[in-house]
Amino acid sequence: MSQPRPLTDRDALVRQRARAALQGPVEFLHDEAAYEIQERLIDVNRTFKSPAIVTGHPEFWAKIIPEALIVSDEDTLALEPDAHDLVIHAMCLHWANDPVGQMVQCRRALKSDGLFIAVFLGGQTLFELRAALSEAEVALSGGLAPRVAPMGEIRDLGGLIQRAGLALPVADSSKRSVSYGSPMALMQDLRAMGEGNALMDRQKSAPRRDLFTRMARIYSDHYAIDENRIPATFEMIFLTGWAPSETQQKPLQPGSASIRLADFLNTTELGPDAKPVKGHEDKKR
């Protein structure tokens, strides 16, 4: 059986990250991600003795948890089974060719009742840039070339935790709006983040010279904050789960409740034939 074509050109992604590191990387999103993860770890109130971090940005994340094992986000992760009580997948799952496979490997690396946390860019990221690029390209060439990596929506991503075999799943997101002097300044920042176009099916030849000029005009026309600033949205997704353990709290079975909801709410339970109280009938919209 043939393997599906990879989404990401791994060699191109590694080159982009290396260039960004040499030029002085832009790390404000990583700062935000690290702060949020540290807050979550404080809430857990547990001391982790054998943490590991999966990331494509080792210089930054090695400073966040100095004692952690830093692992590159290759398709096959260099993680030993049952070796860690904490695994953080940091700001790279949106480039994974097999996100569920990455999470399964992290789960296997966890000890019983170990914690998994992933943070990565979600589907609302750069929606302004994507829309402006698409409109400009359709107008100029009548078609679209892959230019921005597809990113998952929070409503779809929560199920990945359970598919990976993790318990007590939690999924949430956080949006950040950043302003720039121009769309070109935004694109320069993306290159400095190592987040340029590394799609396997990206257009290899140089784009039309007027594509980005037109994109910038559309971007400013549709989204400008004022005459001199445009916004860029970044959505960070956080997925949390635990390696299964017999000591973990289990959800109750349906029908096992020991108190009726009506009693808890101090109200009267109505049967299927009950009529609404006068003055509280449903109103048509």
Residue 265, number of CB atoms within 10 A of its CB:
9
Cα angle 271-273-275, degrees, rounded to a multiple of 5? 95
Beta bridge partners of 230: 180
Phi, psi for residue 67 in degrees, rounded to 5:
-85, 0
pLDDT of residue 247: 79
CB 53 within 8 A of CB 90: yes
Query: How far are the Cα atoms of 20, 129, 180, 274 from residue 24, in angstroms, in the given order?
Result: 6, 23, 19, 69
Chain centroid offset of residue 137 CA: 27
Beta bridge partners of 235: 175
- What is the model's pTM? 0.84
Provide the residue-wise pLDDT of the chain in tens; the chain has 285 residues. 457 788 899 999 999 999 999 888 899 999 999 999 999 999 998 999 999 999 999 999 999 999 999 999 999 999 999 999 999 999 999 999 999 999 999 999 999 999 999 999 999 999 999 999 999 988 887 766 666 777 878 877 778 898 999 999 999 999 999 999 999 999 999 999 999 988 888 877 777 789 999 999 999 999 999 888 999 999 999 999 999 988 776 655 555 555 555 564 555 555 555 454 444 444 444
pLDDT of residue 282: 43
Q: Please give the Cα distance from 169 to 157 (Å, whole number).
A: 11
Q: Please give the Cα distance from 54 to 74 (Å, whole number).
A: 9
**Which residue, 156, 162, 169, is CA-closest to 239?**
169
* Domain 10-127+147-179+231-248, classified CATH 3.40.50.150, yes or no: yes
CB 39 within 8 A of CB 32: no
Q: Please give the Cα distance from 227 to 152 (Å, whole number).
A: 32
pLDDT of residue 244: 94
pLDDT of residue 148: 73
pLDDT of residue 284: 41
3-state helix, strand and coil shares in percent for the chain, rounded to the nearest 5: 35, 20, 45
pLDDT of residue 99: 93
pLDDT of residue 132: 95
Widest Cα–Cα separation across the chain: 72
